Amino acid sequence: MTILAPADPASIVRGAEILREGGLVAFPTETVYGLGADATSAWAVARIYDAKGRPSFNPLIAHVAEIATAQREALLPEAAIRLAAAFWPGPLTIVAPAAPGGSVCELARAGLPSVALRIPDHPVALALISALGKPVAAPSANRSGHVSPVTAAHVAEDLSGRVEMILDGGRATAGLESTIVSFCDASPVLLRPGAIAREKIEKVLGAKLSAPARAEVMAPGMTASHYAPNARLRLEAHELQEGEAALDFGARLAALAAPGRIVLDLSPKGDLVEAAANLFAYLRQLDARGAARIAVAHIPERGLGEAINDRLRRAAAPRV
């Protein structure tokens, strides 16, 4: 059931409760409608990918209400803080190395060591984020491949029955996505042109924005900076070979494992949302436990299985 409510104070409080419980709330921003979840919960973020039907885990923008929060989540260089002061709240997204102790979960970052942050310039978005008191992960509130929605009715067409609540705050005015600037390299990089013109940003920086490295544009998930386990992965495993640890799904491999074998099950009950929520943490755990080779159980190619398999295939690909 999806609650479609005018964005008054009472429904914003209800929306924050839904987010706190791991639910999904679509809300207006000045760019387009966002599909929001608690950015600190991998479970809640997995539901975003599921609701959108995304075939891969691309990193999500974490929406915050204050610059101080952004500074706790990311290591913002002085130039980034200057941009934030000039354009926030507003349609500028800043990407920077995630701060140690930051709260945005790894699934929201799609395994990257960086985090994308912005303060939206919309009273409803700000009230919702403040009421939750945590960063809100929010891509555009449409099914994957559809156009970004600028009204609550557009959101309902795509996501009715897939989200707990849609806050109707009228028409999103910019209709254009945020400009994304990254501070992960020696000089600031324009990752995506958007609602704030490059010239305006360059003026505040007093420097030109660089173009992204080509690989980054073409396939964000394939860049070396994405987390890949040290262990070698063998996908679609139906049995366990000598010395292999297991990354299981639906208790398939666990049944074959002798005692003492390392087996982590992404979802013993075979739930793909749960599996997505556990994916990055389990790959890290297997590394931490020193697994050199990992047999990965078959994961069905439906729903979130497509994105999970995409990520696992990248992790299993030979490295240079």
CB of 44 to Mg ion, least distance (A): 19
Looking at residue 312, what DSSP letter applies? H
Gap between the Cα atoms of 207 and 204, Å rounded: 8
Q: Output the CA–CA distances (angstroms, integers) from residue 296 to 245, 251, 264, in the order listed.
A: 9, 11, 10
Which residue, 34 or 250, is less far from ligand AMP as judged by CB?
34
Three-state SS at 156: helix
Tokens matching residue 139? 């891509």
Residues 248-307 that bind ligand AMP (CB under 6 A): none
Q: Would you count residue 36 as binding ligand AMP (CB under 6 A)?
A: no
Q: Would you count residue 180 as binding ligand AMP (CB under 6 A)?
A: yes
What is the x/- site pattern for Mg ion, positions 120-159, by CB under 5 A? --------------------x-------x-----------
What is the x/- site pattern for ligand AMP, positions 128-147, by CB under 6 A? -----------xx-------
* Cis previous bond, 89, omega within 30: yes
Which residue, 58 or 173, is less far from ligand AMP as judged by CB?
58
Which residue, 59 or 135, is less far from ligand AMP as judged by CB?
59
Q: Which region among 18-26, 75-83, 111-119, 240-248 touches ligand AMP (by CB under 6 A)?
A: 111-119
| DSSP E strand boundaries for the chain | 3-6, 25-27, 34-38, 61-63, 92-97, 114-118, 136-137, 165-168, 179-182, 189-192, 232-237, 245-248, 263-265, 293-297
Among the listed residues 45, 160, 178, the one whose alpha carbon sits nearest the alpha carbon of residue 122 = 178
Among the listed residues 104, 166, 174, the one whose alpha carbon sits nearest the alpha carbon of residue 141 = 166
Q: Would you count residue 45 as binding ligand AMP (CB under 6 A)?
A: no
Which residue, 175 or 270, is less far from Mg ion as judged by CB?
175
Q: Which residues form the interface with ligand AMP (CB under 6 A)? A: 58-61, 95, 109, 112, 114-116, 139-140, 177, 180, 182, 191-192, 220
